[in-house]
Every structure is written in C-alpha cells, then in structure tokens.
Amino acid sequence: MALLTVKQLDVHYGAIHALKGLSLTVEAGQIVTLIGSNGAGKTTTLKTISSLLRPTSGDILFDGQSIVGRPTHELVRLGIAHAPEGRGIFANLTVDENLEMGAYVRRDKVGIAADRERALTLFPRLRERLTQSAGTLSGGEQQMLAIGRALLARPRLLLLDEPSLGLAPQVVRTIFDIIRDINASGTTILLVEQNAHMALGVAHFGYVLEVGQIVMADRAETLAKSDEVRKAYLGVG
Amino acid sequence: MAKLLQTLFDGVAVGSLYALIALGYTMVYGILQFINFAHSDIFMTGAWIAFVIAKAAGWAGGDTPIWASLVTLLGSMIFCGLLGFVIERLAYRPLRGAPRLNVLITAIGVSLFLENTGQLEVLFGTQPQRMPTLLSSEPLFRIGGVGLPLVDVVVVLVAVGLMLLLQWLVFSTRLGRAMRAVSFSIPVASLMGVNVDRVVSFTFVVGSALAAAAGFLYAMKYPGLNQPAHSTWILLGLKCFVAAVVGGIGNVRGAMLGGLLIGCVEMFGAAYLSTSLRDVYVFSILILVLLFKPTGLLGKATVEKV
C-alpha cells in the first residue's frame, strides 16, 4: 500500500518552474530514493511535501489523505518527519535539547525516553555530547543529530535530504547502515541523494529527477545497472 | 561613601527597569529580526494604565495596602500583554515574509498610533499627571547612612523577580525551548511541529507585559507622568534599545546585563560628572561597544538568540 503519493506536482519559484508535473509513490515499509544532480528539484520536492513550499498545482496524499495546504507543524503529528538539507540542527540548543525538539509534539514520556535511548544507541557519538551546544558538533555528528532528532518524532514516513552531503566516505557508510536499520525497524523512508551509488545501494525503489521532471523510475537494483544511470550518476562508462 | 551607595542603588533600580524593557526588544528581535519601535509606547501605556487603575480605585497616600500595588501591576501587565498580542496580530503578522524594512516602517506607524490615540481625552489626555503614591518613599532601612525607600526595594525586587521568571521560562521550559528553536530557524522549528505563529504571539505578550511592569515601576519611582506623546518616553525606550544592543541584541541575558550597565553608567555619570550630559554617557557606551565588540557584550555572531 502506498504511504505517500505525489500526483502531478507543479512548483514555481517566481518565474522559475522548479517541478514540472512530478509524480511519485512511496510504498509503506520501503526506502525510496530520489536521485539527481544539483538543482534538479530534489530538495524542492521534500520541502513541498512538508508544506514549506506551496505547489501551484497537483496533490500530495499521505495515507490516502490530501495534505496540500496543511501547515507544516501539523504534518509532524500525522507522522511525517523531515531531516532538512544542510542538517538544519539548532546550533543554539544543546544536543539533548535538539533531541527534545524532535519529540516536541509528543506527550508520552515513556515512549519518548525509549526512542531517545534508541537514537542514542544508533548514534553513540551523540551520547557523549548530550550537554554540548549542537553548533560545536562536526558535520557528521550534526547529520547524526538531524536523523536522530527526526526519529524522536516516531515518524511513519522519514524524509531525508542529502544525508551524505559533505561527509567523509567512512561516515557516509555508517549513516547509510543506520538508514537501513531504521527502515528495518518499520519506518518508511524517502531519501533524497546526490550520491546515487550509496542511495541505490540501500533503496528498494528509485526515481531519477532531471530539471524538475522524473525521467526514470524503477527498482533500485535495476536502476543501478542501467546504462543511463551508470553514465550520468555513477561515473561509470 | 554615602553618595557612592546612593548612586549605586539608583543605578541598579533604573538599570533593572531598563533591563525589563530591553528584554522585549531583544526577544522580538531574536525571533523576527526586527526592531519593534512600538515597544517604548507599550512601556508608556503600561505606566498610564497603572495611573488609570490607581486613580479609578481611589488609591493614594501612604496607607494604601500593598495588594493595591499588586493589583495595579498585574492589571497593567495583563492589559499591555493583550495590547501586544493585538498589535502583532493586526500589524505585524500580515507582514511575515515581507521585506524587513516594511515591518520596521509599520512599527514606527504603530508607535505614532499609540502615542496619538493615547492623547485622546477619553484615554489619557494631553496633560501630564501625577501617579498616586502607592508605596511609601520613607526610608525602609538604612545602609551606610543611605536610606533605602520601599519604592526602590520594590522596583528592584519585582524587576529581578520577573527577569528570573523569564530566564526560567526561556531556558527551562518546553515553550522556551520552542522560542529558542524558532529564533534559530522558523522553517526548521515548524518541521519539529512548533506552531510558529503561536510562539511569536506568546513572545509579544511576554515582552509587552514586562514593558508594562517596567511602566508601573517607573511611575512608582518617578510619579510625574508626561503626556503619552512626550519625547521622554521615546528617549527612555531608546536607552533600553541601546541596553539591548550593548548586551548583544537577541540575547536574553545580554539585555539584563546591558540594562544594568546603562542604568549604572547613567547614574554615576550624572552624580559625579554632569547631570545635563546623562544621555551622552549612555550613547557613548553604545558607540564604544559597537566599535570594539559590534555583536554586543554577550552576543556571539549568530548563536544564542531569543
């Protein structure tokens, strides 16, 4: 069953037509990736799903229900968590306070404590830095915090924007292992990436985005083998 | 020695008033990055509402019970809190996302509006008034030969109490955490499920209530109330804005420090150098801070706002 359905989405930034009739589906329980080069509209897609941007036309269904026009802060309650690009952590808050912000809409103290524990188990580095100001973390640690924080919302759908951005290959591998773990424990993930190789390695299904349009959609392993993708995004051939 | 102590008391009393007002400037700046020029008029309104309440209740003279002051204080804070809410709702919220200059000009408009409607005969009128005496100015006790009147003690205690309360609110509650998150990034805070509009409203209510408390305390200490459009209110507001900038605009603790510093510098300068230059000292501090530490005493480039 589709958890998220995006239908014929058009988004404009002033005169710029950023998304041109984009459609995609995220099946419950899967990792779906949206790959493409810089400026293809990947971040725009996630921002529109989160209602940070308003589409000019088209529809977005979450769990069968249209969420277009609903304020961003209500979507968290529905079960959508978004770890934004550039990590978007609160540098003026401590690591622990950042995690608490992730659970902002929740009231179940016991559940929050359990999820906090889970996030800290996934990212032991964060545990050592709980009382530190989040602005003092390294890039990789900030990315871990952004993902850990999103988990504290206990989302049904996790939107990840470029988790590999600017990180050393070693750290990227760690983060992708954890993305797989998170999915294995039942969270559906929509993963936006420039690093097509890593993204197609963990995803079940993939879409290729070029200047605001989906140009290919297939099972991730099929995409990884296709000539076009290998040439354009994997630097092979 | 006596003069030194007396000046110190005055400096701390006036400085804590400045700090209360500076907090309103700094909180709004921390969240929306604009200077709310109408804030000094909220302070003025707070003082005048205190006058209206005390007058209407017929309170005057030294035998007024202490709860009368409390009622006046709370009445003024509640009124101005609501006023701040309405101003944000009607004047500033429609401009969310508009260029900052538009909001700034609107703030000046709101300021003029409050001053001039305040002058209406049905409201405060065009004449200066005298605030009824609610708290005795007889010395309560003496330290080093200097008498400390109840008024001064109340001014400092209430101001410090409110600042501690605010400190607790901002740094130890869920709402305060949300305020700090919003001040760092509105979109990311909303991704966490924070209703940003509600946080902004709350910030205006709290800032305005603090300004009203400062207005009440000011009227207690200096009972000669100038008419609403008088330039003293603007000048006082400006000094508090300077306090916020000196402390580091957007920084709650900075506003408190800046207020106390400005108050003490002003009072010491007036006592030991020249009374007529008191405003000069305040603005000299501003120039010095801007020259040597442009982000303010406690300001870090972008960190630790609200």
Task: Kindly state whether A201 is in contact with chain B, defined as any CB-CB distance less than 8 angstroms.
Answer: no
> What pLDDT sits at residue A183?
95
Query: How confident is the model at residue B305, as a pLDDT?
Result: 42
HEC assignment per residue over A106-175? CCCHHHHHHHHHHHHHHCHHHHHCCCCEHHHCCHHHHHHHHHHHHHCCCCCEEEEECCCCCCCHHHHHHH
pLDDT on residue B303:
44
Residue A189 and residue A182 in contact, taking contact as beta carbons nearer than 8 Å: yes
Confirm or reject contact between A63 and chain B (CB < 8 A).
no
In a mutagenesis test of the A interface, which of B175, B191, B251, B302 is the best target, namely the one with the most A β-carbons within 10 Å? Answer: B191
Place of tokens 């999103």: A150
Short-list B225, B169, B200, B166, CA closest to B16: B166
Look at the block and give the residue holding tokens 């630097």: A235
B253 in contact with chain A, both atoms CB, cutoff 8 A: no
Q: Give the chain B residue nearest A153 (alpha carbons).
A: B192
* Interface contact B184-A91, CB threshold 8 A: yes
Nearest CB to A88; choose among B177, B188, B193: B188
**Contact yes or no for A135 and B181 at CB 8 A:** no
Q: Do A50 and B191 touch (CB under 8 A)?
A: yes
Cα of A163 vs its chain's centroid, Å: 8
> Pairing mode, if any, of strands A31-35 and A188-193?
parallel
Residue of B181, B191, B305 lying closest to A84 (CB–CB) = B191
Helix residue ranges per DSSP H, chain B? 2-32, 39-57, 66-87, 100-118, 150-172, 174-184, 186-191, 196-221, 231-247, 252-272, 278-292
Cα-flanking dihedrals φ and ψ of residue B130, to 5°? -110, 120
Question: Could you tell me if B119 lies within 8 Å of chain A, comparing CB atoms?
Answer: no
Position A193 scores a pLDDT of 92
Tokens linked to A195: 């690093």
CA distance A151 to chain B (A): 11
Q: What is the pTM of this model?
A: 0.88
Q: At what angle do helices B2-32 and B150-172 cross, to 10 degrees?
A: 30
Task: Collect all residues with Cβ–Cβ distance below 8 Å to B140 and sequence separation of at least 6.
Answer: B147, B148, B149, B150, B153
At B39-83, the pLDDT tens digits run: 999 999 999 999 999 888 877 766 677 788 888 999 999 999 999
Using CB atoms, pick whichever of A74, A92, A149 lies closest to residue B303: A92
Q: Do B193 and A50 touch (CB under 8 A)?
A: no
All residues of chain A having their beta carbon less than 8 Å from the beta carbon of residue B302 are: 91
pLDDT at B61: 66
Q: Please give the Cα distance from A66 to B210 (Å, whole number).
A: 43
Contacting residues for A215 by C-beta, under 8 A, at least 6 apart:
A208, A209
Positions of chain B with pLDDT under 50: 302-306
Tell me, what's the pLDDT at B204?
Answer: 94
Using alpha carbons, list the distances in angstroms from residue B192 to A132, B92, B178, B186. 20, 24, 9, 10
From first to last of the 237 residues of chain A, give the pLDDT tens digit: 799 999 999 999 988 899 999 999 999 999 999 999 888 899 999 999 999 999 999 999 999 999 999 999 999 999 999 999 876 899 999 999 999 999 999 999 999 999 999 999 989 999 999 999 999 998 889 999 999 999 999 999 999 999 988 888 888 998 999 999 999 999 999 999 988 989 999 999 999 999 999 999 899 899 888 888 887 777 665
**How many other β-carbons are positioned within 10 Å of the β-carbon of residue A170?**
9
Report, at the CATH architecture level, how domain B2-292 is classified. Orthogonal Bundle (1.10)
Summary mean pLDDT of chain B: 88
Q: Is B112 helix (H, G, I), strand (E, B) or coil?
A: helix
Domain segments of chain B as ranges: 2-292
Predicted confidence at residue B306, as pLDDT, reads: 45
Q: Which residues pair with A9 in a beta bridge?
A: A22
| Rounded Cα–Cα distance for residues B3 and A230 (Å) | 83
* Residues of chain B positioned with their CB less than 8 A from the CB of A97: 177, 180
